[in-house]
Amino acid sequence: MSYRGRLINPFVAVIARLDTVATRANTEGGKVPAGYDPVFREPHAVTEADGDRKGTRKESIVRIPCQIEDPELDLQRQQVMGNDPSETITLAFHFCDLERLGLVDDDGIAKIHTNDRLVELRTVCGNKLVQKFRGLFATQVTPGGFGLGLRRNLLFVAFDDREQTTTVAG
């Protein structure tokens, strides 16, 4: 057995994985349209009378040790309508942890996918909340870190907020 390295200054990422099968079948008791919108290809969302937005997105929560690679939290970008705050964070997950948690399929592909949502970061010791996130979704999932032991070591996942305004060309 060979040494595969380890995470440096680890945290625990709480991720809400999109369950596409449950989302497709979800009808919320007949109150919202089932599954995905055929035009926008995303889970249906309905605004109720009280202003609450109800969606059909179904998720499963996982807690995975991670390393923070590249935080750009609270980045400001100038847009046509003013400042558009942006958040981006890249997390590195160790394949040993993903395998232990059953998050690697039989083909060796990680079960963390684009559109999975980053909920929060917690400390490894004591499980204390470090930061909650709203609207950060996985936009890029890239295996990497081939090295020690001639096996994959790391999975890099970039979480970005969803763009709300039109970007200024320039």
Judge residue 88's burial from the number of C-beta atoms within 10 Å of its C-beta, 0-12 exposed, 13-18 middle, 19 or more buried: middle
Alpha helices of 1-132 — where are they, by DSSP H? 20-25, 95-100
- Cα–Cα distance measured from residue 42 to residue 56, given in angstroms and rounded to the nearest whole number: 9
pTM for the model stands at: 0.75
What is the pLDDT, as a whole number, of residue 165? Answer: 40
What is the pLDDT, as a whole number, of residue 88? Answer: 84
**Which position has the token pair 């060796």?**
108
What is the pLDDT, as a whole number, of residue 168? Answer: 45
What is the pLDDT, as a whole number, of residue 45? Answer: 65
Torsion sign (Cα): 20, 25, 30, 34 = positive
Domain boundaries, given as residue ranges, for the chain: 11-161
What is the pLDDT, as a whole number, of residue 61? Answer: 94
What is the pLDDT, as a whole number, of residue 140? Answer: 94
DSSP state of 166: P
**Closest by CA position to 119, among listed 129, 104, 106, 107:** 129
What is the pLDDT, as a whole number, of residue 19? Answer: 78
What is the pLDDT, as a whole number, of residue 170? Answer: 45
Amino acid at 123: T
Longest pairwise C-alpha distance within the chain: 59
Splitting the chain (170 residues) into consecutive groups of 10 residues, what average pLDDT does each group show? 77 90 63 63 64 69 92 60 70 94 93 93 93 90 75 88 51
DSSP, collapsed to helix, strand or coil, labels residue 115 as coil
Extract the tokens encoding 9: 């200054």
What is the pLDDT, as a whole number, of residue 52? Answer: 62
The number of CA neighbours under 13 Å toward the Cβ of 4 is 15
**Closest by CA position to 96, among listed 75, 115, 110, 81:** 110
